[in-house]
Amino acid sequence: MGNIDVQAFLEELYAQGQANDAHVQERGQKMLNLEPETAQFLHILLRSTRRKHILEIGTSNGYSTTWLAWAASEHGGHVVSIDRDPHKHELADANLRQAGLRELVDLKCGDATEIIANLSGPLDCVFFDADRYSAPAQVGLLLPKLAPDVFLLADNVISHPDEITGYLKTLDELPQFEKLVIPIGKGLSVAYRSA
Ligand SMILES: C[S@@+](CC[C@H](N)C(=O)[O-])C[C@H]1O[C@@H](n2cnc3c(N)ncnc32)[C@H](O)[C@@H]1O
């Protein structure tokens, strides 16, 4: 991972994202980074449970991806992260290089549902942070690719309750999963199935 101070890098990257989002008008140009406390919670969760095969849907400029890859780096894991925006894909590439974590991340550029259809498993953690309307179909495609012991995580439960309803309903149809919503940041849905 090199000698970089990843925590300091992440603080700077978050500040850059906030500054960008304050001045750009178009939503597609905003970075919409995860709240730092949510990102840190994911980092602790993934590190402590030694997640090795992590999928992130919604890379943006790589802020949350860096947190996930940093967690994975502790125990030989890796991350696949998807975003359809080529400019953000390039930013994430540069940011992960700067963080010294690029080799742990497979960045994929394109529509998440299409990419997921061709992805191989097993995955032991999926983090949904993109187009919430597509998430139910993505869960369906991912089910056969999930490890027996797996987390399904999704942000924006409190901030976008209407948009995330379909995803939460889909989770309700999966009785093997224990679920809760943590009121951290914009509201994090945590679903866990044990082996
Ligand atoms: C909220 S941002 C992700 C923020 C990022 N996880 C972070 O914390 O730094 C959502 C991202 O999802 C991407 N996105 C939205 N819908 C998508 C889709 N259907 N397929 C691929 N990417 C998508 C957008 O381009 C955007 O960069």
Residue 87 three-state SS? helix
pLDDT digits (tens, 9 = 90+) for 136-156: 999 999 999 999 999 999 999
- Cα–Cα distance measured from residue 80 to residue 125, given in angstroms and rounded to the nearest whole number: 10
Q: What is the pLDDT of residue 2?
A: 52
Of 59, 132, 184, the one to substitute when testing ligand 1's pocket (max ligand atoms within 8 A of C-beta) is 59
pLDDT digits (tens, 9 = 90+) for 20-47: 999 999 999 999 999 999 999 999 999 9
Cβ < 6 Å from ligand 1: which residues?
32-34, 58, 60, 63-64, 82-85, 88, 111-112, 129-131, 134
CATH class of 6-193: alpha beta
| Mean pLDDT to the nearest integer, 177-187 | 97
What strands, in cross-sheet order, belong to the sheet with 178-182? 105-109, 78-83, 53-57, 123-128, 146-154, 188-193, 178-182
pLDDT digits (tens, 9 = 90+) for 62-93: 999 999 999 999 999 999 999 999 999 999 99
| Closest residue by CA, ligand 1 atom 25 | 85
pLDDT digits (tens, 9 = 90+) for 91-145: 999 999 999 999 999 999 999 999 999 999 999 999 999 999 999 999 999 999 9
Average pLDDT, the chain: 96
- Of all residues in the chain, the percent with pLDDT exceeding 70 is 98
Q: Pull the structure tokens for residue 25.
A: 């008008």
| Closest residue by CA, ligand 1 atom 1 | 32
In angstroms, the first-to-last Cα distance of the chain is 31
Question: What is the distance in A from the centroid of ligand 1 to the CA of 82?
Answer: 8
* 120: Cα separation from own chain's centroid: 17
Q: What is the pLDDT of residue 14?
A: 98
Of 131, 141, 155, 159, the one to substitute when testing ligand 1's pocket (max ligand atoms within 8 A of C-beta) is 131
Cβ-Cβ contacts under 8 Å for 64 (sequence gap 6 or more): 33, 34, 39, 42, 56, 58, 127, 129
Question: What is the distance in A from the centroid of ligand 1 to the CA of 106?
Answer: 15
Question: What is the distance in A from the centroid of ligand 1 to the CA of 135?
Answer: 12
Q: Which atom of ligand 1 is nearest to the CA of 60?
A: 27
Domain ranges of the chain: 6-193
- Of all residues in the chain, the percent with pLDDT exceeding 90 is 97
Q: What is the pLDDT of residue 195?
A: 86
Question: What is the distance in A from the centroid of ligand 1 to the CA of 83?
Answer: 5
Question: What is the distance in A from the centroid of ligand 1 to the CA of 145?
Answer: 21
Residue whose C-alpha is closest to residue 44's, from 63, 67, 65: 67
Q: What is the pLDDT of residue 4?
A: 79
